[in-house]
Amino acid sequence: MTITLTAARTIIRTAMEHGAEAGMKPLSVVVLDAGGHVIAFERGDGASPGRFDIARGKAYAAVMMGMTGSALRHRAEAQGYFVQAMNGLFDGRFVPVPGGVLVRDGSGAVIGAVGVTGDTSENDAAAALAGIEAAGLTGEG
């Protein structure tokens, strides 16, 4: 199973609406496939220009490691050299904080990841989960 463009649009729109309704700063949202490649991305008006890189770095780290942003942050805090090693390995596309959320299908298989950035890491993750749920998929942040 793969994430269709229609599903990716639903994820992005819902995550952005979730953020606006909750009074968050402008969000930027990326949807990656199971290989870490971009399906869709949108940057909210007023967000800083580096937001694509940050959103993708969160989602890319999650999907390439098969770990959530929360788990990656825990490991980054416990092992300082871990982030350095992963950065070298994945050519810099590695941001180990919440807001990188795995997407699973009904059987539990990882079919992609969503990356959200713009507000606090915890709020970013909540917006991602709202979007994934609206698309009928299961998120793990």
Positions that interact with a second copy (CB under 8 A): 4-5, 8-9, 33-50, 52-54, 57, 63-67, 76-77, 79-85, 87-97, 109-110
Q: How far is the CB of 64 from a second copy (least distance, A)?
A: 3
Backbone phi and psi for residue 123, each to the nearest 5 degrees, phi listed first: -65, -40
Between 23 and 49, CB nearer to a second copy? 49
31, 11 contact by CB (below 8 A): yes
Residue 5, judged by CB atoms within 10 A of its CB (0-12, 13-18, 19+), counts as exposed
Q: How far is the CB of 12 from a second copy (least distance, A)?
A: 9
60, 113 contact by CB (below 8 A): yes
Q: How far is the CB of 66 from a second copy (least distance, A)?
A: 3
Between 7 and 130, CB nearer to a second copy? 7
